[in-house]
Structure 1
């Protein structure tokens, strides 16, 4: 059985981390396969990517058996060849990425989720910055994303203390978008992906890009960037369809173009 399952239904690509007996912890095979599947999502037919985990967990981070294996890739390659390429692919993908956190998301698993554009979690899910428990530094973009989501103080405490953050608390502090009851999680989280897949894909991609740049731009730079990308959005077919449907008082039919 593949360590990463991949399907495309309609315009939604679903990626399922699939090592349920290991709480979907990463080994080299799974990390490289996830990169490959994210690359396949560049296809124009895909208008939203939905990432979740098989079984009880979303992702428990790195499989430590690989870390201590003398024949394993070693920590430097694990970061440079496994996790960093996953994060950059998620952030550079020109379409929305939804993380559907169905269970525990720990270490790199938590930070991969937080790199996605919209994070929803089942009521029973939790997030753990587990690195300090074994003497490591948070990686996979966590030190970049988490303080920007919840503030320096909370991020520092969560990363240093390694607190387990239940999904409800994660929502309250702004770490994630929404908590969904377990019994409704699959259906409701997929509805979010479906909604995104029906919206103007180029406009969403431009929004994603401009938001990402806002993390490092000055106000003046950001205003100029908004100007540039608003002009690009105004030249899309979906913008014309949005205006026309509004004037004709009908539901728009966006094509992602």
Structure 2
């Protein structure tokens, strides 16, 4: 079904792998379209309760494949970078944000340019000790895009975000964890197992509640306190009417582990 990504589902987890290892999984228009479509599919599938995004081979994603940008041809025509973003990347970033299921970026190797931005747009980042991040836009005279200017300062603070964007410095896995760019760093030989354990754990939790947590926290970034309080009340009303809430309460009273079904 897909030519540039791998997509498999088991145990309530959808695993999406960017699959252009010979190009360090660099983005093409086709890959972005396939990723967006796969995310939509996963979001609608009630059996899927967690999504993992990773890269094949040694890289997570090296950013845009410059040879795939329309207009970058032998005649030297300049591409319209704004149109590329509006047509390709922006819908992908919004789909990551609006899919109300936990999305893990399993960063197995280098993430550069838009590859960094896509990792930041995921909800959690678990990182191999061999991985690193490069906000490489400045090195070719461009601006962080695909949500990079939105997510980066919210994760690491404005000062650090400006430093990384302006210098294009390489950030190791350990440094990414220290500054809040990564949630967890794992030894390379344990990375795949740790990412799987986290995905399975999230898939066993109350999916509707997690979706509401995601929606409310992201909205809270752009609302004042009064607005956030009201949205929390709205979300709590919805969560309070779910089967998983009733199961959680019953399990608590019966002093047993809950068995959530994601509804």
Distance 1:190 1:221 in 2: 36
Distance 1:36 1:135 in 2: 31
* CA apart distance, 1:29: 1.1
Q: CA offsets, 1:146-195, max 9 Å, x none? A: 00111111000100100000011011001121101100000011110110
Deviates further, 125-134 or 78-87: 78-87
In structure 2, the residue matched to 1:63 is: 65
CA contact under 8 A between 1:66 and 1:72: conserved in structure 2?
no
Distance 1:191 1:140 in 2: 29
SS state of the match for residue 245, structure 1?
helix
Q: CA offsets, 1:49-80, max 9 Å, x none? A: 00000000000010011232369974233211
Distance 1:77 1:29 in 2: 16
Q: CA offsets, 1:231-251, max 9 Å, x none? A: 111111000000101111111
In structure 2, the residue matched to 1:4 is: 5
In structure 1, the residue matched to 2:117 is: 111
Distance 2:84 2:13 in 1: 29
SS state of the match for residue 58, structure 2?
coil
SS state of the match for residue 249, structure 1?
coil
Q: CA offsets, 1:122-141, max 9 Å, x none? A: 00100111000000111000
CA contact under 8 A between 1:122 and 1:185: conserved in structure 2?
yes
Unpaired runs of at least 5, structure 1? none
Q: TM-score, normalised by structure 1?
A: 0.97
Q: Kindly indicate whether residue 142 of structure 2 is the aligned counterpart of residue 136 of structure 1.
A: yes
Distance 2:81 2:18 in 1: 21
Q: TM-score, normalised by structure 2?
A: 0.95
* CA apart distance, 1:25: 0.2
Structure 1 pair 186/138, CA: closer, same or farther in 2 (3 Å)?
A: same
- Count of residues in correspondence between the two structures: 257
Distance 1:73 1:2 in 2: 25
Distance 1:74 1:181 in 2: 41
RMSD over aligned Cα, in angstroms? 1.4
Unpaired runs of at least 5, structure 2? none
Q: Kindly indicate whether residue 248 of structure 2 is the aligned counterpart of residue 245 of structure 1.
A: no
In structure 2, the residue matched to 1:86 is: 92
Q: CA offsets, 1:193-220, max 9 Å, x none? A: 1100000000000000011011111011
In structure 2, the residue matched to 1:25 is: 26
Pick one of 202, 208, 211 that aligns with 2:214. 208
* CA apart distance, 1:2: 2.1
In structure 2, the residue matched to 1:175 is: 181
Q: Kindly indicate whether residue 262 of structure 2 is the aligned counterpart of residue 256 of structure 1.
A: yes
CA contact under 8 A between 1:48 and 1:193: conserved in structure 2?
yes
Distance 1:40 1:73 in 2: 31
Distance 1:78 1:176 in 2: 28
Deviates further, 183-192 or 227-236: 227-236
